Structure formats: structure tokens, C-alpha cells
Amino acid sequence: MRFRWLTVFAALFSFLSVNSLPAQDLGSGFHKVKDGIYVYAPDQTTTTCSMVVTQEGVVMIDSCNNPLDSRKMLAAVKKVTDKPIRFLIDTETHNDHTWNHFLFSPPATIISHEGTGEAMKKDFDPKRAETLAARSPEMREAVQGYKMIAPHIEYKDKMTLNLGERTFELIYLKNVHSEADTAIWLPTERVLFAASAANVRRFINLRPSVVISDVLASYKLMKSLNPEVVVPGHGPPSTTKIFDEYEGFYTLLVQRVGDMAKQGKSLDEIKKELKMPTYADWHNQERLGLNIDVAYKSVKGN
Ligand SMILES: [Zn+2]
């Protein structure tokens, strides 16, 4: 009997100690946000991907920006646990989040919101493997074996995934970024994976389908969860302050575009004249025009 208890303690100890590996042991760009929860965010703007280790296996959030990053993530998972990757949850449909499913599945079962498989097929770029391969010999090697893998499970509105000791609540965010966006909330750990409704100090590539009032509603919803850590779809882990920053930005943008439209200015004139000097240090300034397009649509009520 004593021997069995020792085995249990030894197993528990190894589980805890491996889970608490410092992020620097996994390589540059890795952030540890809680025991067993690691985020790969190589810089301020690149797509993030994350692993959540449980006693029953790993849950991945997104499949990383490109196959080289995915392979770095796979190596990191191996350092942290010998358990398989059981699930991969997509926070959005775009290929910088979903193209690398093939590196995780099998064995991972892929879960996304309804519409993801269809959007992936619609956006499919037959040249992407070739384009990536041309970047470097390492990338050429890393794209080997590519095939498109659509989600195995598409949920609608809400879903709960229980694995080992952890609970993942999947929440659909309507019209905030892609055709199907998912926030993932870990209520016990108070960690929120927030998709790309907000990033970190950067102008987001707003598609025409984005509705600013829905984006603002998503911030309200996500803040009401009271998370301790917020992991955006791009950029390093942060807090709910990113929602406040983007709320300030979109509110001011809509107000300025609205004022100029009231003065009778056309969309083209607004795009030429409108500046946002307070946000001059945000990344991707070239996307201000796209942001104005979406704000203009919102002030015109469509
Ligand atoms: Zn995207």
C-alpha cells in the first residue's frame, strides 16, 4: 500500500514540476500564463497559438501562424508533456490560424464555430504552400505534408469541453473579425483566449463583414467574465486593458467619421483627411483606411 501511495505522489510531482517549466525553457516567444498554459507569441503582431496541458492530454488553441511556428509549438508540447494533443480549438477561420491543422491532427480533434469549414474552403489559397516554401529552406521543409483539414466538430453559439481537471467554455463572437470567431474561457484559471476582436496596439485588418457595435458588445461580454489573463489572437498575453484601448479607439473613430459625414464629406474625403494621432504608435497604420470603411458603414446604419 505504501508503495502505491509513493507512486501516486511521484506521478503527481512529475506532473506538477513539468507543468511549471519556465517559458524560457521552451524557446523565445513562449509565455507562461499559468501552470500548464503556455502561449507562443513571437512578437507584437504575429498570430498567437497556445497549449493547455491537462491530466488527460493537451488542448491547443489555434494552429500557429505558419508551419515553422507550429513545429516550434510541437517541440514545446513534447518538452512539457508526453500526453497527446487531444483537441485543437480555432479562434477564427483565417489561414494564419487554421492552415496548420495538419501538423496537429491527427491526433487532435478540431473544434470551431459553425461556418469555419465553409470559410476555410472559400478562402483556400492553392499557392500558399508554395509561397511559404519560398521564404526559406527551413520553411520549405516545414510545409511538407500539408493538407487542408477542416474542423471535425462545428458548434453553435456555446459549447463546453471538459478534459482532465480543466473546463473550456467556447463562446461565439458575432461579426467581430472572421466568418466564425470563438473566445475560449477557462473559468477556474481565469484565462481568456479572446480571438481577434482586439489585438495589442495595432490596427486590425477589418473585413467589410465586421460590425463595430458587435465588436464593442464582445468587449463588454468578455470583460464581464473578469479574466485575469487575456490572450489575443495576435500579440503577447495581456489583460482586459486591451479591450479598453480598442473601445477607446473605435469609439473615437466612429465619432470622427460621423462628424465628417454630417458635414457632407464623402468616404473618399474622410479617408484623405482623417488622422488618429493618439494612435500613431500602433502597428499597421496602413490599415486605417479599412477601419474607416467599416466605421463609415456603421455611421450610415448599414
Ligand atoms: Zn484573422
Task: Note the pLDDT tens digit of each residue in 249-263.
Answer: 999 999 999 999 999
146 or 8: whose pLDDT is higher?
146
Asked whether 38 and 62 are in contact (CB, 8 A), the reply is no
Residue at 198: amino acid letter: A
Query: Of the given ranges (24-28, 63-67, 152-156, 197-201), which has the lowest mean pLDDT?
Result: 24-28
How wide is the angle at C-alpha 131 spanned by C-alphas 130 and 136, nearest 5°?
A: 95
Would you state the cell numbers that stand for residue 139, as one nine-digit string? 520553411
Average pLDDT over every residue of 119-142:
95
Residue 144 is given by DSSP the state: T
Contact partners, residue 22, CB within 8 Å, separation at least 6: 32
d(CA 83, CA 53): 8
pLDDT at 242 over 60: yes
Percentage above 90 pLDDT, the chain:
90
pLDDT of residue 24: 81
Q: How far is the CA of 226 from the centre of ligand 1 (A)?
A: 24
How wide is the angle at C-alpha 297 spanned by C-alphas 291 and 302, nearest 5°?
A: 145
pLDDT at 76 over 70: yes
Count CB atoms within 10 A of the CB of residue 287: 15
| Edge-first strand listing for the sheet containing 181-186 | 158-163, 166-173, 181-186, 191-193, 229-231
Q: How far is the CA of 261 from the centre of ligand 1 (A)?
A: 29
Q: How far is the CA of 235 from the centre of ligand 1 (A)?
A: 12
pLDDT at 16 over 70: no
Q: How far is the CA of 91 from the centre of ligand 1 (A)?
A: 9
Q: How far is the CA of 68 from the centre of ligand 1 (A)?
A: 19
Place of cell 488542448: 59
Mean residue pLDDT of the chain comes to 93
pLDDT of residue 162: 98
Q: What is the 3-state secondary structure (H, E, C) of 185-229?
A: EECCCCEEECCCCCCCCECCCCCCCCCHHHHHHHHHHHHHCCCCE
pLDDT of residue 22: 84
Average pLDDT over every residue of 142-146:
95
pLDDT at 295 over 60: yes
Average pLDDT over every residue of 151-159:
98
**What confidence tier does 21 reach under pLDDT thresholds 50, 70, 90?**
confident
Q: How far is the CA of 71 from the centre of ligand 1 (A)?
A: 21
pLDDT of residue 279: 96
Q: How far is the CA of 8 from the centre of ligand 1 (A)?
A: 44
Three-class SS state of 281: coil
Task: Note the pLDDT tens digit of each residue in 193-228.
Answer: 999 999 999 999 999 999 999 999 999 999 999 999
Q: How far is the CA of 200 from the centre of ligand 1 (A)?
A: 14
Place of cell 467574465: 225
